[in-house]
Amino acid sequence: MIKLSEKIGYGFGDMASSMFWKLFGTYLMIFYTDVYGLEAAAVGTMFLVTRVWDSFFDPLVGILSDRTKSRFGKFRPYLFYVAVPFGVIGVITFFTPDFGHTGKLIYAYLTYSLMMMVYSLINVPYASLLGVMTPNPAERTVLSSYRMLFAYLGSLVAYLIFMPLIEYFSDGDPSASAQQTGWTLAVAVIAVMCIILFLGCGALTRERIQTNDDEEEKRSLKQDVNDLLHNTPWWLLFGASVGLLVFFSIRDGATLYYFKYFLVEEDIGGFSVFSLSFTLSSLFLAIGQITNIIGVLLAAPVSNRFGKKVTFATSSLIMMGLSCIFYYFDANDLILIFVFGSLISICGGMLFPIMWSMYADCSDYSESKTGNRATGLIFSASSMSQKLGWALGSAITGWLLSYFGFQANMVQDEETIHGIKLFQSYLPAAAALISVLFIIAYPLGSAKMKEITQYLAKKRSQHAAQKPNEQLDKTIANFKQQQQPAASAGANTAE
C-alpha cells in the first residue's frame, strides 16, 4: 500500500514539470512574437524542428534509464542530478539577448533545443517511475491522479503568479527592455520552485518492482527496440496521446491571442488581489486549472467504474463537441466562453491520469509477452508523444497565424480573427477526433489487464522463490572454485 506522503511526493515531480510546460505551451509563442521579436511563422518552424528532433532523444533517455544502476534505483537519480540544470536552462530560454534578428533566431533554436533535451532527461525517468512504484493497475491510476492533481496545481500557480511577476519585475514599464527583463526574472522565480519540487519528489518516492538483473544484462538494445516495435497497445496509445497533446497545444498556445486580439481584454479591464494585477486571460487559465483538478478527482472512480478505454474515448468525444460550439461565441459571450472552457478542462483533467496509467499497462503487456518490461523505453513514449503533439500543435499555430495575416501588437483584421477563433474550436476538435480513432482500437481493456496482472504476479512470486536457491548454488560453486587451487598446491608440496 502506497503511503500518502509518497503519493504527494510523486505529485511534486509533475507539479514541477507542469509549471514549466505551461510556460512553454501557453506563453512561449507570444513571448517570441510580442516580446522577443520573431515572426510567427519562424517560431512555428522552430518549434517543429526542435521538438521533432528532441522527440527522438526521448527513447535514448528511456534506454539509458533502464540500464541505470545506483543506490537510488534506476529512475530517481535523474530527479536529483538534473533538477538544477532544468531550472537554469529554463531561465536562459526566456532571456532576450542583444543580438540582431539572425542571432536571436539562432539563440532561440539553441536554448529551446537544450531546454527540451534537459526536460527529457528528467521527465522520462520521472514518468517511468510510475511503472516500478507498484504492480497494481488500480494503484497506478490513483498515483496518476495524484500526479495530475499536483500538475494542475502547479499550472494554476504558474498561471496566477506569472503575469503579476512580469508586471512586478518590469515595474509596470511597457518598454521592450523592461518587459524582457520582467519575463526573465519571472521565469527565474518559477525555476527555483521547480528545483525544490523535483528534489522533494526524489526524496519521498521509492522503486519497488525489481527486474531480473541477469536477464537485463543479457538483453540487447536491439531486443528492447524490437519488443517495443511489436507492442501494438503502445503504438495505439502513442497515436491517441499525440492527438490529445495536439488538441491542448493548439488551444493553450492560442489562448492569449484569443483574449488579446478577439476579446480585447485590455478594454474589458482586469482585477487586483493583494496589490497584484490579474488579466481576464489569467482568470480564464486559472479557472481552467481548477476545473482540470475536478477532472483529475473524477478520473480514478469513473475509470474504475467504466474502464480506462471507455472513459478516455468518451471524454475526448465530449471535448470535441464542446470545442466545435466554441467557434460561434461572440466577444460579449464571456460567461459561455468561461463555462465551455471549464467543461473542456474537466474532460482534459480526466484524460491525463488515465493516459499515464495506460502507459504502465503497456509495460506490463510487454513483460507478459516477452519477459522484458523496458519501463524507461516504454514510458519515453509519453514524453515523446508530448513533444510531437506540442511540436505539431505549435507549428500549426505559428504557420496559420502567419497565413491569416497576424501582425504582433496591432489591431487584427476579420480574416485573422477568424483564424484565432479556429484555434479554440475546429482545429483542436479535429485533433480530438484523431485521438478517439486510435483509442477505439486499443486492446488493453479491464478484463485483459486483470488477466495480465494475475499472470505477472504468479511469475514474479515464482522468481522470488527461486532466487535464494540460485544464490546458494552460486555460493557453493564459488567455494568449490576456491578449493581447487588449494588442493593443487597441496599435491605439489607432497611431491
Task: Give the integer Cα–Cα distance in Å for 339 and 440.
Answer: 28
**What is the rounded distance in angstroms from the CA atom of residue 54 to the CA atom of residue 109?**
12
Lowest-confidence region among 148-152, 166-170, 469-473, 477-481 = 469-473
- Averaged pLDDT for residues 243-264: 88
CB-CB contact of 146 with 129 (8 Å):
no
- For range 272-290, the mean pLDDT: 75
Give yes or no for residue 495 having a pLDDT over 50.
no
Q: Band the pLDDT of 423: cuts 50, 70, 90.
A: very high
- From CA 113, how far away is CA 395, in angstroms rounded? 15
DSSP 222-270: HHHHHHHHT-HHHHHHHHHHHHHHHHHHHHHHHHHHIIIIIS-HHHH--
pLDDT for residue 364: 82
User: How confident is the model over 93-115, as a mean pLDDT?
Assistant: 93
| Distance between CA atoms of residues 458 and 137, nearest Å | 15
Closest of 474, 338, 375, 302 to residue 63, by C-alpha: 375
Q: Which tens digit of pLDDT belongs to each residue from 126-177?
A: 988 887 888 787 787 788 778 878 988 898 888 888 988 998 899 878 888 9
- Lowest mean pLDDT segment, chosen from 7-11, 353-357, 378-382: 378-382
Quickly tell me which residue has 515523446 as its cell: 384
Q: What percent of the chain has pLDDT over 70?
A: 86
Mean per-residue pLDDT, 407-429? 89
pLDDT confidence bin for 373, thresholds 50/70/90:
low
Per-residue pLDDT, averaged over 376-403, amounts to 77
Phi, psi of 277 (to 5 degrees): -90, 135
DSSP letters of 280-292?
HHHHHHHHHHHHH
Distance of CA 462 to the CA centre of its chain: 36
Q: What is the pLDDT of residue 358?
A: 85
Across the chain, what does the average pLDDT equal?
83
CA distance 381 to 389: 11
What's the pTM?
A: 0.69
- Specify the pLDDT at position 120: 87
Assign 484 a pLDDT band (cuts: 50, 70, 90). Answer: low
Query: Measured in Å, how far apart are the chain's first and last C-alpha atoms?
Result: 65
How high is the pLDDT of residue 1?
76
